[in-house]
Chain A
């Protein structure tokens, strides 16, 4: 059966690894993002790896007026439509402290932009009676921390949105997977201080695809972040507020 994946934030290395993995399975791939040259290169790569169709599409999380055209393009495809959201941005918390206006962009990139797109896609999935949505959040969304709490807050909002969307789409036979990666070896974390247990993007992509196949609801990747975050979440607030973890 024909299956298509739209991959939002297709320039990230996690998205690229995921696109390759679904291309190797013979799925059509739509790579959406802002750097069209880069998306075209990844699309070409996906075609060489087995995708019957791979296209680059323009998507800017901060410009929702462009979303309808994307949805229209996807509706032209027959069969099951799936979406994976890798969009996100993480400016320095210090930069945000200096310029609170940056908060709007962080929230749009990590939460409201993808949510508005998925809200439009949801009606398509309901009409077709199936499909999978993968939403990539972050362990940073599990608890607000000194180092990146605006980013964390946006991801937390996205997690909550995804859980509600799962509730809604489950009734129509479509599935929503929430992915919470720990530290991943990407351009976002390259050269940052204090990184440990950094996972390669290919490992994260493989974990996501396995979770899609098993229709899991929420996964941490790599898996041990579930236990790390369990500890972080159980620290009582009076103690947590004094820590800088």
Chain B
């Protein structure tokens, strides 16, 4: 196998790595690489920070192992290679009446990445996290093939789901799909005028898919205003798909400066009529709103950006409000800010979800934003919440330990699975996740 030396980044582009990448196109080649030169796997690089980076080391690019290996209709179980993109899987089966129970915010994420980060979707409060619908994982450990299931290998399974790729290379997996009436979504959008109303609406929403967009620049009485989106899958005929657009180059700094963001957010808020509206769209639109703009991360310029995402327990909602105040007063937020109610479902020791509210906000990579995020992390910890490792580029080893009480169990399983540390990545080094 030839190795290609190249520089690559996570989605946030704030951190970079130079590494040797192999890109096997067959399972036999993958098995050979993991036996001869074990290295962490990477996918479409949709995690934001350094989950997939391995500076000065090696990594295995899984994107060419992207086949659907079979579908057992009786049990609704589909078997896929780890490099299949979740959006492709979702769309391929939705027209046939089946859908992946969990769809993250981008359809470009690979199945391997969805498992290793135990991602969640807009219906987390109903179905839980991605890993909870995985029935089997085929894991390669230095050329040795192992089949993990939640029943027979519960410990290694829970260390692999949300486990940041540290137990082995995920070669393929079996997922349980959910029946669905079609590949369209009825989407109801309504304006929300402030924080308290937003929480009340999220709490009382009966929809399967619920997510809130927040205007993170609004202050005072308008703090927490935004748009609540509620969706249900339905049948119908898709209109012709609109073409994807592309951000062709790194945008200049002013592109997401405070006045531009304020203007954009005002317009985005008013896009939805005061009385709300209901539309029917192909499911890809509400599931993956930003996928239609390829390389949108370039809008933040070459320095990249950070996404802060935390979850806090329901009772700590006031702490979340204080965080939003800090963000609004800072003038640093970008248009992308999301508020959601989370259920308790989680599939692994290092999984992010907990019952509560989750807030995600993008910030351009500037010193002031880095300082603000540190402050937000502190407030999250105080509230008994945690931050999402798939988004992180900044936090500290100590904080992660306190936020992830099952870290020790994960560490024990990982130490057995990869005793020589072949699978260690930049994030694992930065957060000292593999040391006791």
Docked-complex contact B92 and A191, CB < 8 angstroms:
no
**Which of the 9-residue segments B63-71, B248-256, B390-398 touches chain A?**
B63-71
Q: Could you say which of A16, A35, A41, A42 has the most chain B C-beta atoms within 10 Å of its C-beta?
A: A41
Docked-complex contact A191 and B3, CB < 8 angstroms:
yes
Q: Name the one of B23, B69, B92 contacting A41, with C-beta atoms under 8 angstroms.
A: B69
| Interface check B81, CB cutoff 8 A | yes
Known A37-B28, A38-B28, A48-B92: A187·B68 in contact at CB below 8 Å: no
Docked-complex contact A190 and B27, CB < 8 angstroms:
no
Docked-complex contact B4 and A191, CB < 8 angstroms:
yes
Task: Give complex CA distance A22, B64 in Å.
Answer: 19
Docked-complex contact B70 and A190, CB < 8 angstroms:
no
Chain A residues bordering chain B, tally (CB within 8 A) = 18
Minimum CB–CB distance from B17 to chain A (whole Å) comes to 17
Residues of A within 8 A of B67 (CB): 16, 41-42, 44-45
Known A190-B2, A191-B2: A38·B26 in contact at CB below 8 Å: yes
Contact with B along A187-222 (1 / 0, CB 8 A): 100111000000000000000000000000000000
| Interface check B196, CB cutoff 8 A | no
Q: Name the one of B3, B23, B27, B69 contacting A45, with C-beta atoms under 8 angstroms.
A: B69
| Interface check A132, CB cutoff 8 A | no
Minimum CB–CB distance from B111 to chain A (whole Å) comes to 14
Residues of B within 8 A of A13 (CB): 25, 64
| Smallest Cβ-Cβ distance to A50: which chain B residue | B92
Residues of B within 8 A of A11 (CB): 25-26
Minimum CB–CB distance from A10 to chain B (whole Å) comes to 11
Task: Give complex CA distance A186, B29 in Å.
Answer: 14
Interface residues of B (CB under 8 A from A): 2-5, 23-29, 64, 67-71, 81, 92
Task: Give complex CA distance A11, B64 in Å.
Answer: 12
Task: Give complex CA distance A185, B227 in Å.
Answer: 42
Task: Give complex CA distance A41, B25 in Å.
Answer: 11
30 contacts between A and B (CB under 8 A): A11-B25, A11-B26, A13-B25, A13-B64, A35-B26, A37-B26, A37-B27, A37-B28, A38-B27, A38-B28, A41-B27, A41-B67, A41-B81, A42-B67, A44-B67, A44-B69, A48-B70, A48-B71, A48-B92, A49-B68, A187-B2, A187-B24, A187-B29, A187-B64, A190-B23, A191-B2, A191-B3, A191-B4, A191-B5, A192-B2
Minimum CB–CB distance from A191 to chain B (whole Å) comes to 3
Minimum CB–CB distance from A44 to chain B (whole Å) comes to 5
Task: Give complex CA distance A187, B64 in Å.
Answer: 10
Residues of B within 8 A of A12 (CB): 25
Residues of A within 8 A of B2 (CB): 187, 190-192
Minimum CB–CB distance from A99 to chain B (whole Å) comes to 20
Residues of A within 8 A of B25 (CB): 11-13, 16, 186-187
Minimum CB–CB distance from B23 to chain A (whole Å) comes to 6
Minimum CB–CB distance from B8 to chain A (whole Å) comes to 14
Minimum CB–CB distance from A43 to chain B (whole Å) comes to 9
Minimum CB–CB distance from A84 to chain B (whole Å) comes to 18
| Smallest Cβ-Cβ distance to A45: which chain B residue | B67
